[in-house]
Amino acid sequence: MASTNSLRRTGIALLAATTLVALPVTGTEGLTGTSRAEAAQGGGAWRGGWAASPQAPTEPFGPNWSEQGFVDHTVRQVVRVSAGGTKARIELSNRYGKRPLRITGATVALTDDGASVKAGSVRRLSFGHDGSVTVPAGGKVYSDGVPFAVKALQSVTVTLYLAEPTGPASFHSFASATSYRASGDHRSDRDGTAFKETSASWFFLSGVEVSGGSAARRDGIVTFGDSITDGVGSGLNADNRYPDELAERFAAAGKPRSVLNHGIGGNQVTNDTVWAGEKGITRFKLDALSEPNVGTVVVLEGINDIGGSDWEGFPGGPTPEVSVDRLIEGHRSLIRQAHARGIRVIGATLTPVKGSSYYTPVNEAKREAFNHWIRTSGEYDAVVDFDRALADPADPDRILPAYDSGDHLHPGDAGYRAMAQALDLDEF
């Protein structure tokens, strides 16, 4: 039997507020500390620093911690924020939990090395002025805001102590980052010696928001899509996904921006999957459009709709075939949803797949027809041509070898940098 690491490598190679706020998955009926009007307009002064889309517990490429969950465990997770501030809060998701989730306690700190944090930086988080909180099944909570000075592109460590059995955990599968687990309560530890176990996924943590430092404007950016947005193929703990590289471009220009990654590896626009989330047209409002002060969304999605229909290696088996017309209608739904919120939306062409498990003449014809619609229809507010940015000039249906992670489907670090460079900052 293959090892967990080899299974994971195989899977990656084949894929493309200041008070407690408790929300159900849809609507704002559960709000207790923020007015409905403020919630609908993005949370006032808060802006996204980091985000990840929750997924249902699943183990398509080998064991992780999601299906078993946690009991008397401390989970420490490291994320890099795209925007800085003087105050922070976290978002915790129990979207796919079948029972209430008890968070015994939580802290936030500046990251030092691995599971260790910088001395003097640990801040205990509260929830409605209580150190613990219960997240309803299917819901999410925000911590209270805490004074916390953090700069754009700085890494922060969020630590959760889970004393009671959690049951299966809402999580994000492809983190391209290391998370840490320890037995017992180590939420305030400065060093990381107690954290003996690691995972390459995120658990329960779905957002870090910041405020202060500069006036909040509706200029945040969400990148929405599948594994190529998620960063599959990029280096572990390197923050080289294309949204990370885009955030670095803004920071280098002296204008840091909120750039939030809502990609899910394997996700489709038109089909639900057990292991890769609800279809994009459903989760778009839950993930991309729920973020505070977002002005623009970049959409790159559809290659799994095309390639997943005839590939036997797709976890759970092939998904229903999707025509180009159906895929276009799915994208039109995303455009309508964004425009209804007053959000600008940029459409991205699908990147080359020749040589990958998704490549067939029929699938290639679909990809080219869809890309033609993206480029010429005028239905998106703007277009970014990731296809041409990554293509090998000698064989435009294939990723340039220097940009290829090795599976001929996902870019590597250099490819993700090229994607970020293809975006015109003036479009934001």
* Structure confidence by residue, pLDDT tens digits, 216-274: 689 999 999 999 999 999 999 999 999 999 999 999 999 999 999 999 999 999 999 98
For the chain, the first-to-last Cα distance in angstroms comes to 49
For residue 4, is pLDDT > 60? no
For residue 151, is pLDDT > 50? yes
At 312, is the pLDDT very low, low, confident or very high (cuts 50, 70, 90)? confident
DSSP letter, residue 270: S
How far apart, in whole angstroms, are the C-alpha atoms of residue 267 and residue 16? 8
pLDDT at 215: 62
DSSP letter, residue 239: -
Residue with tokens 């195989």: 10
Do the beta carbons of residue 157 and residue 77 sit within 8 Å? yes
Mean pLDDT of all residues in the chain?
A: 90
* Structure confidence by residue, pLDDT tens digits, 369-420: 999 999 999 999 999 999 999 999 999 999 999 999 999 999 999 999 999 9
CA 244 to chain centre: 11
Closest CA to 23 of 230, 277, 207: 207
Do the beta carbons of residue 45 and residue 211 sit within 8 Å? yes
Percent share of the chain, pLDDT over 70: 89
For residue 8, is pLDDT > 60? no
Q: Which amino acid is at 49?
A: G
Do the beta carbons of residue 150 and residue 81 sit within 8 Å? yes
CA 150 to chain centre: 20
For residue 136, is pLDDT > 90? yes
Residue 344 burial by Cβ neighbours in a 10 Å radius (0-12, 13-18, 19+) = middle
Domains of the chain: 4-8+21-29+49-210 (no CATH), 217-427 (3.40.50.1110)
How far apart, in whole angstroms, are the C-alpha atoms of residue 419 and residue 242? 6
Helix (H) or strand (E) holding 338: helix 324-340
Closest CA to 257 of 304, 286, 294, 299: 294
Closest CA to 46 of 75, 79, 21, 80: 21
Alpha helices for 212-323 (secondary structure H) = 227-230, 242-252, 280-287, 303-307
Least confident of 184-188, 207-211, 215-219, 297-301: 215-219
CA R_g for the chain: 20
